[in-house]
Structure 1
Amino acid sequence: MLEVRTARADEIGAVVEFYTRMIDEMRGTDFDVRWRHGEHPSEGFLRASVEAGEVLVGVLGADDPDAPAAVGASRLACALVMNGETDPGYEQGAWQVEAPPQDVAVLHVVATLPAFHGRGFARQLVNASADVARASGKKAVRLDTFAANLRGRRLYESCGFVCVGECPRFYPGIDPTLPAALYERVL
């Protein structure tokens, strides 16, 4: 069973290890996120995000038969960062809700280890992020994904997100030629 919760301060190492493993396991597959170790997401970004209480993790229970073999001692199956920081290009979105930045939550580095694809963990994590945002008084949750990430786009749409536009040349730190699809879920 998956428990979605805020990462604890003593889990910084586990969060960094999770993203390192996810990048390695996704590289060269149809779901390659094209993130780079030490750059995106950087250890500093992850550390600061955990310390600020901005990382949600999906943790497998000790009784889950996949936990020990699939993710080691940390048992993290999925994770994301949720804060109020937008990337350049967000101003191009035809957002459904006009809201100042402090009234919007933005999801970053949404990821699930490949061993857990298809089990609904990402859906649980994304829906939990909306619940957390709603409880903290946010009006909407926003995110971006590669425009060609059809699997991710279907996930976000199934969680109530609406595509509000696409931005060309959106990911300069990863691949400047990749366009992004911008998504919003009104709370």
Structure 2
Amino acid sequence: MATVRKARADEVGQVLDFYTRMIDAMRGTEFDVCWEHDVHPTQAFLRASTEAGEVLAVVAPEGGAAGSCFAAALVLNAEADPGYGQARWQVDAAPDEVLVVHVLATLPEFHGCGFARQLLEGAIAAAREAGARALRLDTFTDNVRAQRLYESCGFANCGVYEDFYPHLGRAGVLYEFAL
């Protein structure tokens, strides 16, 4: 079984490599996340998140003794997209009582292994440990596979918001997990 853990500060290179590989592998597929190298997510964001201990990763079973091969990863912090202010959240929580999941992704060769579910369960546990009242995230309206995952993990669909991703001209679906 794979291990979910925080990426260490000395693993910035592995985190950057993971997201580079994931973006390249997903581009043009039905799972294209529409992310661009050093635009979203930026290297600065990933570096700062790793150094702050905000990156949760699944270490691939064949990652070896060093455990540096990430199969899936996400960033967990309190930074909410400005669009979160328009949402009809179920939990009435102050911004400092909420954690947000960002850039959740799995390398295509590990799709179907349950790693995204393990990551979400790890994020839920980390949010509880941090004393948060809610865990929130967003996704594209056409990312039905992710929506099924979030809902099966207990996240509540809090609505579709048109032009949630204005730079892409796309709507988003917002989700919340009450802690």
Cα distance, 1:171 vs structure 2? 1.6
Separation (CA, whole Å) in 1 of partners of 2:165 and 2:11: 28
Question: How many angstroms apart in 2 are the aligned matches of 1:90 and 1:26?
Answer: 26
1:104 match: 98
Q: Which of 149, 158, 161 in structure 2 is aligned with 1:164? A: 158
Residue of structure 1 in register with 2:176 after alignment? 184
Structure 1 residue 170: Cα displacement: 1.5
Q: For 2:31, what is the secondary structure of its paired residue?
A: coil
Aligned partner of 1:133 among 123, 127, 132: 127
**Counterpart Cα distance in 2 of 1:92 and 1:163:** 14
- In the alignment, which residue of structure 1 is the partner of 2:52? 52
Q: Following TM superposition, by how much is the alpha carbon of 1:88 offset from its aligned partner in structure 2, in angstroms? A: 1.8
Q: Structure 1 residue 7: deviation in Å? A: 0.6
1:92, 1:165 within 8 Å by CA — same for their partners in 2?
A: no
Aligned residues: 178
Match of 1:91 among 73, 85, 103: 85
TM-score (normalised: structure 1): 0.91
SS of equivalent to 2:170: coil
Choose from 149, 155, 159 the match for 2:143: 149
- What RMSD over aligned residues (CA atoms) do the two structures have, in Å? 1.4
SS at the partner of 2:91? Answer: coil
Q: Deviations over 1:83-137 (max 9, x none)?
A: 0111121122111111111111100000000011111110000111000100110
Q: Report the CA distance between 1:81 and its aligned residue.
A: 0.3
Letter in 1 for 2:148: R
Matched letter for residue 50 of structure 2: V
Counterpart of 1:25 in structure 2: which amino acid?
A
The separation in 2 between residues aligned to 1:102 and 1:88, in whole angstroms, is: 15
> 2-side partners of 1:93 and 1:48: how far apart?
27
Structural mapping, 1:37-48, within 5 Å = 37-48=37-48
Q: Which amino acid aligns with 2:106?
A: T
Runs (5+) with no aligned partner, structure 1: none
Shift of 1:168: 1.0
Offset of residue 166 of structure 1: 1.3
Q: Give 1:18-97 correspondences, 5 Å limit.
A: 18-61=18-61, 64=62, 67=63, 74-97=68-91
What is the identity, as a one-letter code, of the residue corresponding to 1:135? E
Q: Where in structure 1 do 4 or more consecutive aligned residues deviate above 4 Å?
A: none
**Identity, % of aligned positions:** 57
How far apart are the structure 2 equivalents of 1:101 and 1:83?
11
Contact 1:84 1:105 (C-alpha < 8 Å) held by counterparts: yes
User: Which sections of structure 2, spanning at least 5 residues, go unmatched?
Assistant: none
One-letter amino acid of the structure 2 residue matched with residue 144 of structure 1:
D
